[in-house]
Chain A
Amino acid sequence: MALMARRVVHIHPTLLCNLTCAHCYSTSSPKMPRGLEPEDILRATAKMAKDGYDSASLSGGEPTIYFGLDRLCAGLRDQGYAVSVITNGLQPDRIVNFAERHQPDLISVSFDGLAPRHDLIRRKKGSFDRAMTTLKALSDKGHRCGAVVSLGEDGMEDIPALVAQVAAAGAGHVQLHPVSELGRGLTSAIVKEPRDETLLRAMVLSQLLDVMHPECRIICDALTGELLQAKPRPKVGELVSPVVIGADGQVFPVAYGLADQFSFGDLRGALAETVYSPDMVDLIDRCWDAAAKREATAFYPDLTRLSQTMVSA
């Protein structure tokens, strides 16, 4: 069993970003270095493609300002990957030009709420309008596009109107994604990780919005404990999905920010097989048992925290 249906490689080629968002789990900013050499990433993804990985998801940092984006996208395509990109939408012309050049299979623009909340969290006035302009321009050019909406403890009242706006702008999907208390999100005074009840509310809301907007698929990245309990768990030796490549070159199973002991290694060196190890399955089992008793769970933030706790213990 994979945690995701497709074999996904989630790549953070750089943590360089043109924003300094309050909740950024990867602590990306304009002060970060330029990132990994695309050839180093492509050597690792070539091996993964042979193992059966077929989907590459690029985030960061802001992937559309990554110096090696053209070479990376072209290389991933040559290796047979479906390529998806998540962008903050801050530079509409640049992003649309990128999409025109590379025709990604999916490009998602991230949002944090309606304009006042979005601009507050992004720490940049006008960033909401630019993101909406980008989404509309991508849709107008015929690109398959959508929106990823961050979900914190506060701000859910923005979501129905936001979903209506992004659906009208041409989004084919909306993903409500719970924020994690990781990176800058750990100390953010503006955005807090949603509690279980808030996750449950978001799940119900996503179902209602999905019925309201038949042209747009709306999902929430959370599960009830009961649904999680019913899912099959990963087994030792099975191929991991997603695999997460960090901007430091470290390759991890399943989630960003896991404790170092779970790393498959550095992609510039010898990488271990990207299969579930006994330690990783043990970690997932413990997290699964706890999460399955809860009202609702986003699972991945819990997994990351548990891995760090196990190491410090």
Chain B
Amino acid sequence: MLNVEKLNTEQALELMANRVASNKISRDSLGAISKAIFNDEFPVIGFDVCKYGTCWDFEFKGPLVKFDLQRLMELVPGRVRNVDIMIDGITDPERLRVRVGQELG
């Protein structure tokens, strides 16, 4: 497992970008990442480093009751360690920001 304790977000992104650009991730991983990124239901709106490795922020537009966590988990690659669901609130109650923490391997 990659040690991410000393990485900030910028460094983690740079590391990932260079690995993708240099063809240093497997075809399977590429397919899994692209499946998560390029989906119509939950667009990726952010990326960060967390205590588990990385976390991806997905957006869901609609009321909370219609949010399908199981569907999102089908799209997310790797080992999921935690999920935070945040509602925009008064500004837009039908917009959720869903943060998925993953173990970075």
Is A160 interfacial (CB-CB < 8 Å)? yes
Complex alpha-carbon distance, A162 and B59, angstroms: 29
Is B92 interfacial (CB-CB < 8 Å)? no
Chain B residue nearest in CB terms to A296:
B34
Complex alpha-carbon distance, A169 and B56, angstroms: 29
Tell me which residues across on chain A come within 8 A of B34, comparing CB atoms: 200, 203-204, 224, 296
Is A295 interfacial (CB-CB < 8 Å)? yes
Complex alpha-carbon distance, A197 and B16, angstroms: 17
Chain A residue nearest in CB terms to B10:
A212
Q: Are B18 and A204 in contact (CB under 8 A)?
A: no
User: What 0/1 readout, one digit per residue, does chain A (265-296) give for beta carbons within 8 Å of chain B?
Assistant: 00000000000000000000000000000011
Tell me which residues across on chain B come within 8 A of A159, comparing CB atoms: 21
CB within 8 Å for A201 and B20 given contacts A211-B47, A227-B38, A227-B40: yes
Tell me which residues across on chain B come within 8 A of A208, comparing CB atoms: 13, 16-17, 20, 47
Tell me which residues across on chain A come within 8 A of B33, comparing CB atoms: 204
CB within 8 Å for A200 and B30 given contacts A205-B21, A227-B38: yes
Q: Which of B1-41 contact A (CB under 8 A)?
A: 10, 13-14, 16-18, 20-23, 27, 30-31, 33-34, 37-40
CB within 8 Å for A224 and B38 given contacts A201-B30, A295-B31: yes
> How would you classify the secondary structure of chain B's contact residues: helix, strand, loop or mixed?
helix
Number of contacting residues on A, CB 8 A? 22
Tell me which residues across on chain A come within 8 A of B44, comparing CB atoms: 207
Complex alpha-carbon distance, A159 and B46, angstroms: 21
Cβ of B17 to closest chain A Cβ, rounded Å: 4
> How would you classify the secondary structure of chain A's contact residues: helix, strand, loop or mixed?
helix
Chain A residue nearest in CB terms to B57:
A211
Q: Are A207 and B22 in contact (CB under 8 A)?
A: no
Tell me which residues across on chain B come within 8 A of A157, comparing CB atoms: 18, 21-23
Interface size range of chain B in the complex: 20 to 34
Tell me which residues across on chain A come within 8 A of B37, comparing CB atoms: 203-204, 207
Tell me which residues across on chain B come within 8 A of A230, comparing CB atoms: 40
Task: Give the residue among A208, A211, A227 with the most B Cβ atoms within 10 A.
Answer: A208
Complex alpha-carbon distance, A212 and B21, angstroms: 14
Task: Give the residue among B13, B18, B20 with the most A Cβ atoms within 10 A.
Answer: B20
Tell me which residues across on chain B come within 8 A of A211, comparing CB atoms: 13, 46-47
Complex alpha-carbon distance, A157 and B20, angstroms: 8
Q: Are A204 and B27 in contact (CB under 8 A)?
A: no
Cβ of A298 to closest chain B Cβ, rounded Å: 15
Is A156 interfacial (CB-CB < 8 Å)? yes
Complex alpha-carbon distance, A212 and B10, angstroms: 7
Is A238 interfacial (CB-CB < 8 Å)? no
User: What 0/1 readout, one digit per residue, does chain A (179-214) give for beta carbons within 8 Å of chain B?
Assistant: 000000000000000000100110111011101100
Is A215 interfacial (CB-CB < 8 Å)? no
| A212 interface neighbour in B14, B22, B30, B39, Cβ under 8 Å | B14
Is A248 interfacial (CB-CB < 8 Å)? no
| A226 interface neighbour in B14, B23, B38, Cβ under 8 Å | B38
Complex alpha-carbon distance, A230 and B22, angstroms: 30
Interface residues of B (CB under 8 A from A): 10, 13-14, 16-18, 20-23, 27, 30-31, 33-34, 37-40, 44, 46-47
Given contacts A160-B17, A160-B18, A203-B38, 16 further A-B contacts (CB under 8 A): A158-B21, A197-B27, A197-B30, A201-B20, A203-B34, A204-B20, A208-B16, A208-B20, A211-B13, A211-B47, A212-B13, A212-B14, A212-B17, A227-B38, A227-B40, A230-B40
The 9 closest A-B pairs by CB, nearest first: A208-B17, A160-B17, A212-B13, A205-B20, A157-B22, A156-B21, A157-B21, A224-B38, A211-B47
Instruction: Sample 17 A-B pairs with CB under 8 A, ordered by A number.
Output: A157-B22, A160-B17, A160-B21, A201-B21, A204-B20, A204-B33, A204-B34, A207-B37, A207-B44, A208-B16, A208-B20, A208-B47, A212-B17, A224-B34, A227-B40, A230-B40, A296-B34
